Amino acid sequence: MTNYNKQFINGAWKEGSSEKTLENINPYSQESIFMMNSASEEDLNRAYNAAADAFPAWKDTAPAEKQKLMHNVARVMTERKKEIISWLIKEAGSSSVKAEVEFGAALAIVNESASFPHRVKGQIMASDIPGKENRIYRSPKGVIGVIGPWNFPFHLSMRSVAPAVAAGNTVVLKPASDTVVTAGTLIADIFKEAGAAAGVLNVTAGRGSEIGDAFVTHPVPKVISFTGSTEVGSHIAELAGRHIKETALELGGNNAFIVLPDADLEQAVNSAIFGKFLHQGQICMSINRLLVHEDVYDEFTSLFKERAASLPVGDPADQNTVVGPLIKVEQVERILADIKASVEQGASLIYGGQTDGTLMHPAVLTDVTQGMPIAENEIFGPAAPIIRFSTEEEAVKLANATPYGLSGAVHSSALHRAAELAKQIDSGMVHINDQPVNDEPHAAFGGEKQSGLGRFGGEWALDKFTTEKWISVQSEKRSYPF
């Protein structure tokens, strides 16, 4: 599909007008997939104007027609599943398992969004003023700017695009430069095939240094939805704040996986392996720190190390591969530097850590303390620091000893005890006897502290992409005091 290396504006594929280019590189082979002209501010302006022009008609489109588009998107996705999976593998370095998980999550959010057109409801409220009726109307906000990430590119872009469009908004999507296709142009092509009207979804792929700030500060978009790093999210929030724009931000995490002494260790290890090494740990919800009670620390560590050592590492196109490449060599170097510094501070690297280009074998570290770089920083890679604790109070303190608050997990055979502990963890999500990489389309997804603002999923997404207006109707003459 040659159009994947072009911009998608007002229903048509166009060459970017910037003098700069974007190169799409396979993170495993380092081979160039294609080169494309980057979008300029002029392209961005055309895209936002196209979305603004398309908004009135799309807003007033019957709910059944909006729902039909979402059903068509789901159908096209299903028909093109192999193509989507293939692009996730070669462009994002996804293993087959991760690509399947991502496809399923994206399809689920599209199916959930199909219910939104008939869930946009207002209400009638009584008034204290005689002869007055209060009406609350809910309507789409307008044009939504979506900035998609590179790690779960297809799902996390679709997580904003589908609900926003289903609620009656139009969208301009800026994909991550490392995953232009799976975070952007492939989604545009799916919507086009599904029958989306021109201007409903537009894609501008460009360098953040060239169009990033303009994407946020442009006068047209009412909401900026961003998934990515806390550093970039903070900058976006600052820009949006200056222009009184609303944001939906899903940012970084330093997620704790807590193992209490009464946990089923086999289940805890299975959960930890999946939650740590899915997509090489390059997920905002991935386990960053394993907090294990001292009574089961040695046994858990032994089992976890054994399982980590058994994970196949290599080409993500190989069906057997579990741990594939990191997105860039620079990410490998950053993680190795944190491991080295932590070992110098007293941590023990008991397994793994070998690298070959963008490949990094699972690394397991013990004797880790919270102040070490491998525990303090968001890893975003296949390194697993295991921290010992003595009491539940200490576990909660460790879990909260970070500026992030996205997800987490607690393992215990006493479910109420685990839930009570989970309530004390300052994060948006905690999962009992599971791992932190969970995303269900109807549930509230989001973080606290520096992990983001707002919630995605279900009615929370609907609230984010719609607004309410109060219209009062005075049906009889009102008397005034003067």
List active site positions: 250
Residue position matching structure tokens 């209400």: 123
Residue position matching structure tokens 């109807």: 442
CA angle, 304 then 306 then 310, to 5°: 115
Asked whether 372 and 347 are in contact (CB, 8 A), the reply is: yes
**Structure-token pair, residue 396:** 């909660």
DSSP code of residue 147: E
Residue 478 CB neighbours (<10 A): 10
CA gap 201, 191 in Å, rounded = 8
Burial 97-136 (b: 16+ CB within 10 A, else e): bbbebbbebbbbbbbbbbebbeebeeeeeeeeeeeeeeee
Residue 7 CB neighbours (<10 A): 30
Backbone angles phi, psi at 92, to 5 degrees: -105, -5
CA gap 443, 160 in Å, rounded = 14
State whether residue 253 is helix, strand or coil.
Answer: coil
Residue position matching structure tokens 């469009």: 165
CA gap 287, 159 in Å, rounded = 22
State whether residue 313 is helix, strand or coil.
Answer: strand
